[in-house]
Amino acid sequence: TAVQCKRFIRISKSDLDKIVEKVKKYGKPVHRLLLIVSSDFSKANLDYLKSIANEAGIIEVKVWAASVIEAML
């Protein structure tokens, strides 16, 4: 499992590409990714993240966005 925590006002597809590339460089296979972001996260970005993560061999993707974090508090 890989965890990435990012503080963005807005997250772009380019940012998501960079996150997945960083995870791929861990040296060990990563099958799950938890992305924690301080901004809102759109359904389109979630679909895109899942797509590129699956191409990288990451099977499970979870995102904790601002609204999820607030609900936990």
| pLDDT tens across the length of the chain (73 residues) | 899 999 988 999 999 999 999 998 888 889 999 999 999 999 999 999 999 999 999 999 999 998 888 888 8
pLDDT of residue 72: 86
Quickly list DSSP for 3-36: EEEE--SS--HHHHHHHHHHHHTTSS---EEEEE
pLDDT of residue 27: 81
Question: What's the whole-model pTM score?
Answer: 0.89
The Cα–Cα gap between 64 and 70 comes to 10
